[in-house]
Chain A
Amino acid sequence: MNSIERMKAAIELKPVDRVPNAPFYEAPICTYFGSSMRAALMESQAMVDAHLQAVEEFQFDWAIMGMNLIGGIIPAALGCRVVYPENELPQILETAVKTIDDVEKVANSDIFTDHMEEFLKGVSKLHTRLKGQVPLAAEYISPFTIATRLRGTNEIMSDMYENPGLVKELQEAIVPLNISVGKALADAGVEYIFYGADMECPVLLSPNHYKEFVHEPTSKVCNELSRLGLKVLPHMCGNIVKSGIVDMLLEMDIHGIMPGNLTQENVFDIRELKEKVKERICVFDNINPNGPLLIGNPEEVKKKTREHLERAKGMSGYIFSTAGTSAPTTPKENFTAMNNEVLNFEWA
């Protein structure tokens, strides 16, 4: 099996020749292989070079990009003031939505800015260079999480009680723009959408607020991305089973779920998620990117990785991954230890 076949089989809950290996590696590989983080995230050729080196050295089963897309390019296109430091992730210096009057400006934004076009050019180039062997994935964010970028997190969280109309109208304005980005990603060669739902996770929002404010715009976006042929993979931290969020996600056209951290030191139990979703969709494992991987040594990383793999052994529709973005300061020897353990694990 090549990586495209392996990932496809896992997504369809069919047998695989080895564990599909699809961690969130973008930030570390900017450090390992990029001339600078900004270049590896923002300049199409540097982006392609860094990902090609990473895929070749680590034999990842996907190439995933887009930290700058969700953190800088989209917020900037929709009116935020954003800077792109040389060796850090993009930073939002000023939000775009001060009052409900600003929602119309968001709705009328041209999201295909020069930065967006350069990013899409990088995606397209990488797709060509991977020669149909390794699938492409993109980081992506929900309308609600984009809304927190545009308005400010505290403001949106307060608006849910004080100005609920703004929260809904802002997301309504974002939905078609977000879908147009999804379509452009698909056109550029992306197959998998890592649908980040950072700010509506059950650590921060009640299930009732999720249902009232988030469920409808998320359904619209996920269903449309799926209709475009993309494989949609929502990612969320917190106890997504107990909170009932999984039940709401399963109402949508999604293809897998990527659970994140339960607390800073613990991740959501992959077996508990599997029992919930059964044979309906695939599950991504979630080794803690802030645990031994970041602050331990290779032996500790190897042990933790093996624990995850042993717990999942025999599970259909299983893909190994990290519980979100790995830090750029993740030691390369730790990343290598994790990777080798996954590649050499006897799955059958």
Chain B
Amino acid sequence: MSLADILNAVVSFNKDAVVENVTKEISNKTDVDDILNKGLIGAMDVVGENFSRGDIFVPEMLQSAKAMQAGLEVLKPHLASDAAGQKGTVVIGTVKGDLHDIGKNLVSMMVEGAGFNVIDLGVDVDIEKFIAETQIHNADVLCLSALLTTTMPVMEKTVKAVIEAGLKTKTIVGGAPVTATYADQIGSDGFSKDAPGAVALIRKLISAA
């Protein structure tokens, strides 16, 4: 039994095996931070790489994320109270007028899986709510998602509102129609084409802050 078994069980989305292996590692007095970081979070990094390479697709990614969450539920009572959010806080949502959530949900799951404290505001989020929640949670990064070309302009308004509110929070954007050029044009701090890329970008922005 090892952390590799947890990692492999998440990657192969075997939820029962994840729960069983996490439970056993806790019983074996394995450092819970290692179970989290080297087992569960490490697994989601592998899942992200597999997705980026086109080796797996959305249904498989969702199953791995669910397996990871099952393991996290077992582990949570054993973690220090602030452990889940120790890497930073990320507020995420789909912009006003856009009700699509698959990309946002994938990013949310991957970012949470990477150990960040995630505040998921859902879909069709008002600019005012983005600003308020970002302030309340003192968020390090605000992630804006849009699937529709019709709602992309709301991203620009939201990014401007963050700047006008004087927040130090970094903003990143993503979604099917969004490009790096567009992200630059609207003044956001970054863009990612997929969920694994969003995790890497958030890590980079927070470590550079």
Contacts and interface: CB of A to CB of B under 8 A. Distances in A.
A213 to B, nearest CB: 10
B59 A327 contact: no
A157 B193 contact: no
B112 to A, nearest CB: 15
B149 interface: yes
A18 to B, nearest CB: 28
Interface residues of A, number: 32
B149 A328 contact: yes
Contacts of B66: 158
B150 A91 contact: no
A234 interface: no
Interface stretch (B28-36, B161-169, B180-188): B180-188
Interface stretch (A1-9, A100-108, A290-298): A290-298
B99 A91 contact: yes
A291 B179 contact: yes
Contact of A209 (B57, B124, B178): B57
B58 to A, nearest CB: 5
Interface string B80-107: 0000000000000000010111100100
Nearest to A152: B101
A340 interface: no
B124 A91 contact: yes
Interface in B1-58: 13, 54, 56-58
Contacts of A290: 149, 152, 177-179, 182
A92 B62 contact: no
Interface in B179-202: 179-182, 185, 193
A161 B58 CA distance: 11
A205 B124 CA distance: 26
Interface size class of B (residues with CB under 8 A): 20 to 34
A291 B58 CA distance: 25
A92 B99 contact: yes
Contacts of B59: 157-158, 160-161, 205-206, 209
Interface in B99-140: 99-102, 105, 124
B149 A27 contact: yes
Contact of A264 (B58, B153, B176): B176
A133 B110 CA distance: 52
A89 B150 contact: yes
Interface in A208-225: 209
B102 A93 contact: no
Given A91-B124, A157-B62, 16 more contacts: A27-B149, A154-B105, A158-B59, A160-B59, A161-B13, A202-B54, A205-B57, A205-B58, A206-B60, A209-B59, A263-B193, A264-B193, A291-B181, A294-B182, A295-B181, A327-B149
13 contacts: A27-B149, A153-B101, A158-B66, A160-B59, A161-B59, A204-B57, A264-B193, A289-B149, A290-B152, A290-B178, A294-B149, A295-B179, A328-B149
